[in-house]
Amino acid sequence: MKARLGRFSPVRLAHRPTRIEPLANLGRALGLDLWVKRDDLTGIGAGGNKARQLDYYAGAAIREGADTLLITGAVQSNFTAMTAAYAARLGLACHVQLEDRVPDPRPLYRENGNVVLDQLLGAEIDTFPVGEDEAAADRALREKADGVRRAGRSPYVIPLGAENPPLGALGYVEAALELREQMRALPSMDAIILASGSGLTHVGLLYGLRALGVSIPVIGICVRRCANLQRERVAARLVSLGELMGAPSKAVPGDIRLSDATLAPGYGQLNQAVRDAIKLSAQHAGLMLDPVYTGRAMAGLIELQRSDALPGPRVLFWHTGGLPALFAYSDQLV
């Protein structure tokens, strides 16, 4: 698997390995033996899981001779800010397209959090008025790339839609190798819990673990779409990732485990379970979670525990970052 990954020549900016730490106090509050994988501490920009993905996207951009990165995402996207940070580190220009995914956003949402980082990092920013049409967002981004090309520059587009090759998922295939090594010194985990949105973190980790013969359940907490739609997306992306890797996925349908119990009212919109999870994690572990991904993932973990739906009490929570978004929701949290 290392040899297959090496063919893609990623850059090596993300800090690896990220720590695995016990969360004893929070675990006691939840009745769990709880651990956390600190992918919020990947070292570039404000940190987060997208660094592992961007190592591969940036590697491809450099191989193609690109001088400009283009990406689309929600207004409070961690991915866009991380891409701008990678561009700054690598001496590239960056164009960020911010989609209107959250209905009736407040001024704070539009002006704070990751938007401030996009601006500080020098990204060129524009908006896209649709939030639930990935193909349209990708088309608009490619039109902007055409404009970059006409201006004599060399663009590289980081696409959003599920029809694109899942290059970013390779970062989490690699993370599976890292996790296997770390777990040699840890007690056996009963489950891994993570946020499942675009699906590439979920898909890459599941593909990698099953390829390594590791059977720990990986449970995705839905942050953007219902479990039925997300299951279809994850299944399709596993097939695409197998094609990209040159080795079919060893995951079976029963390996795709999802919960959407804490999804309503929808992407980027707070509910009481998410508020409670963010405050509980802060006050019992000093662990900062964001309202869009990790706060919802922790709320999903808590709901699985409450409904006795976890495979066992020893749980690894995969912290995918997102701290800056807290400040765009501060008026709804404190």
Give tens-digit pLDDT for 97-147: 999 999 988 999 999 999 999 999 999 999 999 888 999 999 999 999 999
Pick the catalytic residue: 77, 198, 240, 281? 77
- Tell me the C-alpha distance between 97 and 195, whole Å: 23
What is the per-residue pLDDT across 202-254, written as a single tens digit (0 to 9) for each?
A: 999 999 999 999 999 999 999 999 999 999 999 999 999 999 999 999 999 99
Q: How many CB atoms lie within 10 A of CB 323?
A: 18
Name the segment(s) of the chain with CATH classification 3.40.50.1100. Answer: 2-48+166-333, 50-158
CATH 3.40.50.1100 holds for 2-48+166-333: yes
Question: Is-contact 155 70, C-beta < 8 A?
Answer: yes
Q: How far apart, in Å, are the Cα atoms of 300 and each of 117, 273, 278, 297, 332?
A: 28, 8, 12, 5, 19
User: Is 77 part of the annotated catalytic residue set?
Assistant: yes
Task: Give SS3 for 274.
Answer: helix
Using pLDDT thresholds of 50, 70 and 90, give the confidence band for residue 292: very high
Q: Please report the pLDDT score of residue 131 as a whole number.
A: 85
- Tell me the C-alpha distance between 58 and 16, whole Å: 17
Q: Please report the pLDDT score of residue 300 as a whole number.
A: 98
What is the per-residue pLDDT across 39-82, written as a single tens digit (0 to 9) for each?
A: 999 999 999 999 999 999 999 999 999 999 999 999 999 999 99
Which CATH fold would you assign to the domain 50-158? Answer: Rossmann fold (3.40.50)
What is the per-residue pLDDT across 8-21, written as a single tens digit (0 to 9) for each?
A: 999 999 999 999 99
Tokens representing 25 are: 């106090």
